[in-house]
Structure 1
Amino acid sequence: MKYRIIDSDAGPTLVLSDQLLFDHRDIFDTAIDKLLARKQPFVAVDMAGLTYMDSAGLGMLLTLRDRAEHAGIGVSLLRPSKDVAELLDLACFGSLFTIERG
């Protein structure tokens, strides 16, 4: 997993690329810490560059959602790739997150 955080007026965006797998848990936790430390009311996760995500990746997104919710921060998922979007749909993540496709 590779990531970067882009700050904008709308709030910070966590840009993910490559794959989101169980082995990336520590890296993702670090990214969450940096993202939520910005203390903005809204954050986004840009998934356009994410080519694959396993079930642990789904769990990591839920961890982000729970930590953000606890801090009063909203989370949306942006532009998931086709394969990732199918996994999000199978897991019914549309009921847990705002997912902006594009």
Structure 2
Amino acid sequence: MGTYKDTMNVKINQGELVSKVSVLKKQMGSVVIGTVLFSNYRPVNGATAVLFYIDTATKERIPLSYTFTDRDGQFIFTLKNTNCDYVINIVYNEEA
């Protein structure tokens, strides 16, 4: 199983119609998609999801990336190395 990815750079000037074809190249890795919900199953918008790599020698959690949940409570991370252990911490501060 792999991930397919392409980077498409497009510059569009006023009044132009641009059509571009993208050919995806296979890359090794995985995708983690999660949903954050309150206890009443309502989606949490704006929570922070922090991805940590766990160092096998020291068991230390090393932060790699973070993202925010969308209005549906969803977040996504891509992982290039699937032979490692990861932890995702979720943080949410509700405004008064």
Structure showing greater relative contact order (alpha-carbon pairs closer than 8 Å, 6 or more residues apart): 2
TM-score (ref. length: structure 1): 0.24
More helix as a share of residues: 1
**Structure whose alpha-carbon radius of gyration is higher:** 2
TM-score (ref. length: structure 2): 0.25
More strand as a share of residues: 2
